[in-house]
Amino acid sequence: MSVLKELLEGNERFVTGSNEFPRLNRERRLEGLYGQSPKAIVVGCADSRVPPEHIFDQGLGDLFVLRVAGNILDEAVIGSIEYAVDNLETPLLMVLSHTNCGAVGAAIDMPVEEAAGSLKYLIEYIKPAVEKVKGMSGDFQDNVTKENARLVVENLKNQGQIISKAYQNKKLKIVAAYYDLETGLVSTL
């Protein structure tokens, strides 16, 4: 079974309340003493309502997770992904966006120069998605959220030596996804 399918099946268990809470026992913990072999890398939002292990019903050692507001990239995030791609040979990289994202909302409402502190970095990063979907039909914030996830994926496909090469050699699949807080459902974009 493909890793993506495995994650989406875990999400279906989460949505329908038939979670298995797999691989969270002592035995699995001790397996981790000998290393890790996560099945997927997830770049998700720091939002407390979107923990990847829970929404995909996964256990210890299953997901290599980077969480940052607005599921965006910086050098530390990219370096961490490179580690997983290069050293752990993780075959799937998912950028996981979600409904009602506060970082996306701030990027829509706030001019970059009004953002306080390092919040500026987040808003500046998401702004191109805000500009790109202007005039598009449908819910504006949803459109920005999805476009931002797609732009992050495009950025990753062209990122540095390690990630872009693994992608081109088909050793790494990169997908954008969208989580609905209300239904609990993850859909790929």
Shortest spacing between CB 50 and Zn ion, in angstroms: 7
Q: 3-class DSSP state for residue 169?
A: coil
CB of 107 or CB of 162, closer to Zn ion: 107
Nearer to Zn ion, 41 or 101 (CB): 101
Q: Which is nearer to Zn ion, 43 or 156 (CB)?
A: 43
- In whole angstroms, the minimum distance from the beta carbon of 69 to Zn ion comes to 6
Residue 89 sits at the vertex; the CA angle it makes with 188 and 65, to the nearest 5 degrees, is: 50
Residue placing its CB nearer to Zn ion in the complex, 101 or 174 = 101
Q: How far is the CB of 45 from Zn ion (least distance, A)?
A: 3
Q: Roughly how many angstroms between the first and final C-alpha of the chain, as a whole number?
A: 20
- Is the separation of the CB atoms in 38 and 28 below 8 Å? no
Residues of this chain that interact with Zn ion (CB under 5 A) are: 45, 47, 101
Closest approach of Cβ 66 to Zn ion, in Å?
A: 13
Q: Which residue's CB is nearer to Zn ion, number 7 or number 72?
A: 72
Q: For the chain, what is the largest distance between any 2 Cα atoms, rounded to a whole number of angstroms?
A: 53
Q: Read off the amino acid at residue 45.
A: C
54 CB-near residues (< 8 Å, 6+ apart): 14
Question: Token match 């752990």: residue?
Answer: 88
Measured CA to CA in angstroms, residue 64 lies from 37, 60, 123 at distances of 9, 10, 25
| Shortest reach from residue 53's CB to Zn ion, in Å | 17
Look at residue 166 and give its three-state secondary structure: helix
